[in-house]
Amino acid sequence: MSTHSVSSGPSLPRITVIGLGAMGTALAATFLNRGHSVTVWNRTREKADPLLGKGAQFAGTVAEALAASPLVVACVLDYAILRELLTPAAGALTGRVFVNLTTGSPRDARQMAAWVEQHGAEYLDGGIMATPTMIGQPESLIYYSGSEAAFRNYGDSLGVLGAAKYLGRDAGMASLTDMALLSVMYGVFSGFFHAVAFAGSEGIKAAELMPLIKPFLEAVASFLPMYVEQIDSGDYARGVVANLGMQAVSLGHIARASEEQGIRPDLLKPLLALFQQRAAAGFGQEDISGIIEIIKTPGR
Ligand code: FVH
């Protein structure tokens, strides 16, 4: 690795990016475009070539990559890989601000925070609510949690990637928020995929269904504030307009109709089971939001 200073200029810190998959490459390219000097490291060196063409420097080892910059951003496949990469280089973490944008659980984040801090670095965990093409664009959003001082000192640099929202000192909170929002996303996706397969069983194209889905989604979302009130108050009978007992039967009809149409009801069945369990426990006259009481108990 060529020798270089640890800063980009009078005001912009040099930044190291570890991991040059689709996301790490977008992060490094954005830092470069915004005038930062950037050092990169990736297991597969060739992936760095386009960035080297834009002025990035390649570090020969993870330890060199950590030593090169006061601010280090990591984005690899998972936490286990990151830990494996960092362990032999842990001594070089001292004095660094280490920002981990790898996806993992809140527990992963808290354990990583403790380990990184043990090695003398400040730790920020991040949950990226964007795809690689969105990085650096106004619609990109990244949640951060962990060291307050790190966010205070480097929030502006991190802000070039997209809106940077700090969620407090508990390193697990960014991941918790990320995963909660992604749960909403996957719920919507699963309903969409089932709907398309169901309509498709009669030859209706997804493109024909789409104009009906968009406004319906808005109507569906308008129910959420009522569920919020019921859930936060614990009063699942408050303002109920469509009771659970009826909806359990109704969802059962959709599952049966799916089988009749020759498609799999697999995406509907887990929700139906929760509706039926809650109704069988005597809560059929309450709202469907009461299934939260089952969901929030530990899984079997
Ligand atoms: N891409 C996205 O849309 C999402 C948006 C939200 C956040 N995620 C998370 O970001 C992490 C990285 O995702 P990615 O899209 O960059 O993933 P890949 O393109 O598959 O790159 C994976 C990188 O991890 C390196 N890597 C994998 N295995 C190893 C290993 N055993 N040892 C060392 N490095 C490893 C891989 O290196 P290489 O294959 O290029 O050598 C890439 O740098 C992820 O947590 C998403 O959930 C992205």
Question: Which atom of ligand 1 lies closest to the CA of 78?
Answer: 45
Compute how many other C-beta atoms are within 10 angstroms of the C-beta atom of residue 162: 20
What are 153's two structure tokens?
Answer: 């000192």
Distance in angstroms (rounded) separating the CA atoms of residues 297 and 210: 36
Q: Are strands 163-166 and 141-146 parallel, antiparallel or unpaired?
A: parallel
Q: Are strands 122-128 and 141-146 parallel, antiparallel or unpaired?
A: antiparallel
Question: Which atom of ligand 1 lies closest to the CA of 104?
Answer: 45
pLDDT tens by residue, 14-34: 999 999 999 999 999 999 999
pLDDT tens by residue, 250-286: 999 999 999 999 999 999 999 999 999 999 999 999 9
CA dihedral 225, 229, 234, 239 (to 10 degrees): -90
Q: What percent of the chain lies above the pLDDT cut of 90?
A: 95
Please report the beta strands in the chain, taking only residues with DSSP state E, as ranges in sequence order: 15-18, 38-41, 57-58, 71-74, 97-100, 122-128, 141-146, 163-166
Question: What is the residue-averaged pLDDT of the chain?
Answer: 95
What is this structure's pTM?
A: 0.92
- Is 80 a pocket residue for ligand 1 (Cβ < 6 Å)? no
Q: What percent of the chain lies above the pLDDT cut of 70?
A: 96
Ligand 1 centroid to 75 CA: how many Å?
6
- Is 94 a pocket residue for ligand 1 (Cβ < 6 Å)? no
Dihedral pair phi/psi, residue 98, rounded to 5°: -110, 115
Distance in angstroms (rounded) separating the CA atoms of residues 198 and 196: 5
Instruction: Beginning with the edge strand found earlier in the chain, give each strand of the sheet holding 57-58 in spatial order.
Output: 57-58, 38-41, 15-18, 71-74, 97-100, 122-128, 141-146, 163-166
Residues in the chain: 300
Predicted confidence at residue 3, as pLDDT, reads 34
Smallest CA separation from ligand 1 atom 44, residue: 77
Distance in angstroms (rounded) separating the CA atoms of residues 263 and 256: 10
Which of 150, 153, 154, 126 has its CA nearest to residue 140?
126
What are 232's two structure tokens?
Answer: 């936060």
Question: Which of 20, 43, 79, 137 most suits a substitution to test ligand 1, by most atoms within 8 Å of the C-beta?
Answer: 43
Predicted confidence at residue 179, as pLDDT, reads 97
- Is 102 a pocket residue for ligand 1 (Cβ < 6 Å)? yes
Contact 115, 85 (CB under 8 A): no
Smallest CA separation from ligand 1 atom 20, residue: 21
Question: Which atom of ligand 1 lies closest to the CA of 103?
Answer: 45
- Is 43 a pocket residue for ligand 1 (Cβ < 6 Å)? yes
pLDDT tens by residue, 82-94: 999 999 999 999 9
pLDDT tens by residue, 40-78: 999 999 999 999 999 999 999 999 999 999 999 999 999
Ligand 1 centroid to 131 CA: how many Å?
12
- Is 23 a pocket residue for ligand 1 (Cβ < 6 Å)? yes
